[in-house]
Chain A
Amino acid sequence: MDKKQGEHQPILEIKNLKLNFHTYLGEVKALNGVNLKLYPEEVLALVGESGCGKSVTALAIIGLLPENAHITEGEILFKGENLLKKSKEEMRKFRMTECAIVFQDPATYLNPVLKMETQLKEVILLHKEDLKRAVIAEEKGEKIGYEEFLAMKNVVDKQNKNYKVSQKKINEMAEKLILDILKLVKLPDPQRILKSYPHELSGGMKQRTMIAMALARRPSLFLADEITTALDVTIQAQILYLLKELRKKIATSTLMITHDLSVAAEIADRIAVMYAGNVVEVGPTRAIFKEPFHPYTQMLLKAIPNIRNPTTRLESIPGTVPEMINPPPGCRFNPRCSFAMDVCRKDKPELKEVKMGHEVACHLYE
């Protein structure tokens, strides 16, 4: 897809996604018609409080929902194909080549009893055919690095089909590529890291290797679920900086899930604000901060302490996030909203473009 066309054609489009969780207390209506578009090579931050459905959205995209979740309505289109219609095997392929996810706490996603080398190699060794081709090319005298390896992603050549390559050579090639990938995420002393167990690494290092694993195959879709939340500020700054740098090198579309508006401000091109299972506002980062339309976004921005612009009192949002088993009818924010009208209690507002590229789901703007 060329870039010009790409600007109008989203790579990922979620249409009216509704998702429920079965629990013994009843149906938890976690997503209530989510609409979201992700354009090629952009970073879209999905911002919201805990329980608003941002992580569930990511899990639905990548097909890793827990068993008690079921999608009742809607579709998730990736490059025009509906992911929800795909089989398990197709989804596995999708995760292998097109999409990657990194979660909040790297410690829980790395296997504590395996060395980093084994875990990283596992990712690369899945692509045995590509590795085989890389080995053959190297034997022919070509220089093979990470870039060249990635270029082999979709090449199909028949002439090498019967060429035998020993497992040892494939292993060696995998090791070489892993080192390249670790250098890409700026890990100091990658040799040592490969020989370490996860507990020997710091949180920041672990998260870097997770990012390395995710980006190893240069996915066209990168889901980052609270990847800096478990880290210290100085390490968070390093990781955000790394992501910014990688953006220039790797043209990936990123969906960055975070509860921290400041992190979103740092890195995102656009921000989507979620509340209780709905996207209530989407717009360019600057517009969201400068001129938020939705009352929830307005209040959320006033609730965070700002060092540059200190206030003596923070504005808190009255009430709590609604219970999702019996959510309030109409707009789910209406019980906490100071502008709530009769129509808010009856009809659910839909996302509407109010300004260029700035959409909001609120009856105030109709």
Chain B
Amino acid sequence: MKLHATYTNESSKNEELLRVKDLKVWFPIKSGVIQRTIGYVKAVDGITFNVLKGETLGIVGESGSGKTTLGKSILKLVKPTSGEIYFEGINIVKARRSEMKMVRRRIQMIFQDPYASLDPRQTVSSILFEAMKIHGIVKSKTEAIERAIKLLEIVGLSEEHLYRFPHELSGGQRQRIAIARALAVNPIFLVLDEPTSFLDVSVQASVLNLLKDLQRQLGLTYMFITHNLAVVHHMSDRVAVMYLGKIVEIADKDSIFRDPKHPYTFQLMEAIPLPDPEVKKERVLLEGDVPSPMNVPSGCRFHPRCRYATQRCREVEPQLGVRSNGLVACHYEIDFSSDKIVGEVVV
């Protein structure tokens, strides 16, 4: 049985699949008896990027940087405040219910916690059938069972798991069920929100391998959201680094990890613990915490923690601009090895 009707990996490279333009997701803070809005949590505050067919775009950032909100807003699980999200010619932000149903067949999401994302009272079979039924993928019960078994095999489980309840499965197996459920409707784009952070290392490895295999076999496109930099390095083709609701740098994986341009990206890379006791780095540690997205610092959001910050950074917010190998939102060109500002971006 064919699971996929469209798209092969090779012919579609470099074609744009998803385009996000100046997306903002603000959550109102309400207070008082009449619940007046006294401010906003700017979880996502003006983000522009695109995802190409067949690639994996990694989204990294610390907690509170807005990466999960970004992922959810692509499926309109949270309502964007403004901006545009184009997917196959449809603007998701403005899409009607019927259009959204179609979009959600094409885009599926996998969540972090497989203990929370599966209904404990549903068996694996009914979890899988439900998805197929809603989207009218199968016509008869026998077809549904056939397809469910096929899906289980694809994610490395077998027919015996079909009538089990989630509590009878391990964390890794549950996450595989969540993947199978997402694949049940033939999506072409998966938003993966920390799919392995609940899993142990040995299990994480097998789930990551499975995701890579599925991508190759089915020609899927991934948006991989995680805080784990080693995982994002392993999985992604391109990486976007988020800080306080903004993308500070977006480039291909090797440039981000080997030659970061934004001081935050650099600090993030420095902070990664390496599974190698031989490497003893003399670290320049990033001080302080991520500020609250309720009151965002003026100018560049990173300036209170940035060692290179100048008056311009405190006043003017830098925009994403083209550098040698990607887009960077910083006023300055910094040479991290000599710890000096070597150039300024003139607008």
Contact = CB atoms under 8 A, between A and B. Distances in A.
Contacts of A286: 277-278
A233 B227 contact: yes
Contact of A237 (B170, B208, B270): B270
A233 B229 contact: yes
A233 B285 contact: no
Nearest to A204: B289
Interface stretch (B81-89, B116-124, B136-144, B195-203): B195-203
27 contacts: A49-B203, A188-B288, A232-B62, A234-B285, A235-B62, A237-B283, A240-B273, A241-B283, A262-B275, A265-B274, A266-B277, A300-B201, A303-B202, A304-B201, A305-B208, A305-B230, A305-B234, A306-B275, A307-B257, A308-B274, A313-B209, A314-B206, A316-B206, A316-B209, A317-B205, A321-B170, A321-B200
Contact of B271 (A203, A234, A305): A234
A224 to B, nearest CB: 15
Interface in B220-274: 227, 229-231, 233-234, 257, 267-268, 270-274
Contact of B202 (A260, A266, A290, A317): A317
B201 A263 contact: no
Interface bin, chain A: 35 or more
B234 A310 contact: yes
A260 B203 contact: no
Interface in A316-358: 316-317, 320-321
Contacts of B62: 232-235
B275 A265 contact: yes
A34 B141 CA distance: 52
Nearest to B63: A232
B4 interface: no
Interface string A27-46: 00000000000000000000
A285 B279 CA distance: 12
Contacts of A321: 170, 200
Q: Which residue, A236, A238, A286, has most C-beta atoms of chain B within 10 A?
A: A238
A314 B271 contact: no
A310 B235 CA distance: 10
Interface string B139-162: 000000000000000000000000
B294 interface: no
A307 B208 contact: no
Q: Which residue, A188, A309, A314, has most C-beta atoms of chain B within 10 A?
A: A314
Contacts of A241: 283, 285
Given A233-B229, A233-B268, A307-B233, A301 B275 contact: yes
B234 A314 contact: yes
Given A237-B273, A260-B273, A307 B209 contact: no
B286 interface: yes
A202 interface: yes
Interface of A: 49-50, 188, 202-205, 232-238, 240-241, 259-263, 265-266, 285-286, 289-290, 299-301, 303-310, 313-317, 320-321
A263 B273 contact: yes
Contact of B272 (A203, A233, A315): A233
B264 to A, nearest CB: 9
Given A300-B201, A313-B212, A320 B170 contact: yes
Contacts of A261: 201, 275
B233 A310 contact: yes
A262 B274 contact: yes
B202 A300 contact: yes
A306 B285 contact: no
B217 to A, nearest CB: 14
Given A232-B290, A233-B227, A233-B271, 20 more contacts: A49-B200, A49-B202, A188-B288, A203-B63, A234-B285, A237-B273, A259-B200, A265-B273, A266-B274, A290-B278, A300-B202, A303-B205, A304-B230, A304-B275, A305-B231, A307-B274, A310-B234, A315-B205, A317-B202, A317-B206
